[in-house]
Homo-oligomer: A and B are copies of this chain.
Amino acid sequence: MPESTVTETLAKVRVVLVRPKGSGNIGSVARAMKNTGLRELALVGGGRTESLSARSMAVHARDILDGARRFGTIREAVADCGLVVGTTCRKGLYRDHVELPREMARDMVAAVAGPDAPPAALLFGPEDHGLSNADLRHCQRLVTIPSHPEQPSLNLAQAVMVCLYEIYVAATLGAPREERLKRAPAEAVEALFDRMKDTLLKVGFLDPQNPEHILLALRRVLGRAGLEERDVKILSGLFRQVEWYAQGGWEVAEEKRWQGVKLR
């Protein structure tokens, strides 16, 4: 890629820190972003950027700290993003299909390449426990940094550095290719999941006590696929139709079918 394109591409990768605790870590993350040409830092649920330790760890990246945007929820922080990737170090329920940073980086660069591509987001959880299962629901894909089983948990800023390094390498040294998939904005996909949940609760497919359990499996499948706007429209239409049919539209439909037969 030409240098100007690389700059534009990297500028569309957003780092989202979810409930970060240490402000020194936020400073180190800002520095890692500057080291790799990133600009957009988003903080969800807190995080101090004014503290001495944040600013001293950031060194020459204080502009990134100053420009950091704050959000109340992950959903708002990634609303305009196409690809949304979460990082996790734990394995377990809902956490299968994790990818390596290298694969993720290649796909993320492809996803943001081109002037019309939406931004992408890379989420990191709090230092002690990482992203929760509720946080991970917003992620289409999950990435885990390979690490030794004896001490698998990386320092937050170091984990960010590894991922951004891979993204930088993919953007500057990887073969340029635009992703063929034009992902719909995350907010449109979230609205689809809202509708799916409503409909599937109504028809009794989801357990009202724990609707997210099965819904997450559906999120994972559709997340792996990647949804374009047309896909979102079709799937929204599908669930709208099921709901209409289930809520008495059923009888109207029967009548219509019957009338149809009569008219012939």
A residues near B (Cβ < 8 Å) are: 10, 28, 31-32, 34-37, 57, 59-61, 96-98, 100, 102, 145-148, 150-155, 157-158, 161-162, 165, 168-169, 172-173, 180-181, 200, 203-205, 214, 217-218, 220-227, 230-231, 234-235, 237-238, 241-242, 245-246, 250, 253
Contact = CB atoms under 8 A, between A and B. Distances in A.
A204 B155 contact: no
B234 A227 contact: no
A235 B150 CA distance: 38
B241 A231 contact: no
Nearest to A151: B34
B161 A203 contact: no
9 contacts: A31-B155, A31-B158, A35-B153, A37-B148, A102-B169, A161-B162, A162-B165, A181-B224, A221-B225
A250 to B, nearest CB: 6
Contacts of A223: 225
Given A97-B181, A203-B242, 4 more contacts: A34-B148, A59-B151, A165-B165, A200-B241
